[in-house]
């Protein structure tokens, strides 16, 4: 997460839109718990997202799926 405060507020807003109430500390506590249990380690990024995160440039080849 680039901006934890913004993401926490987004989670709270999405909850409110679905009639579920969270406060900032509840969301932060849950995110800390998930991080401690390595829940974020299984996140897979597609090539475009990985390139954006790593600062690289997405390259397309001539293979059957546009790669290679």
What's the pLDDT score for residue 4? 86
Query: pLDDT tens, position by position, for the chain (68 residues)?
Result: 678 899 999 999 999 999 999 999 999 999 889 888 887 776 677 787 777 777 755 455 554 554 44
12 and 1 Cβ atoms separated by less than 8 Å = no
What's the pLDDT score for residue 65? 52
What's the pLDDT score for residue 46? 76
Closest CA to 9 of 56, 17, 38, 58: 17
Put simply, whether the predicted model's pTM sits higher than 0.85 gets the answer no
19: left (phi over 0), alpha (psi -120 to 50) or beta: left
């Amino acid at each position: 997460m680039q901006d934890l405060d913004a993401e926490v507020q987004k989670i709270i807003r999405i909850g409110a839109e679905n009639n579920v109430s969270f406060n900032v500390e509840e969301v932060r506590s849950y995110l800390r718990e998930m991080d401690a249990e390595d829940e974020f380690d299984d996140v897979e990024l597609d090539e475009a997202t990985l390139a954006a995160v790593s600062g690289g440039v997405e390259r397309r080849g001539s293979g059957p799926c546009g790669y290679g």
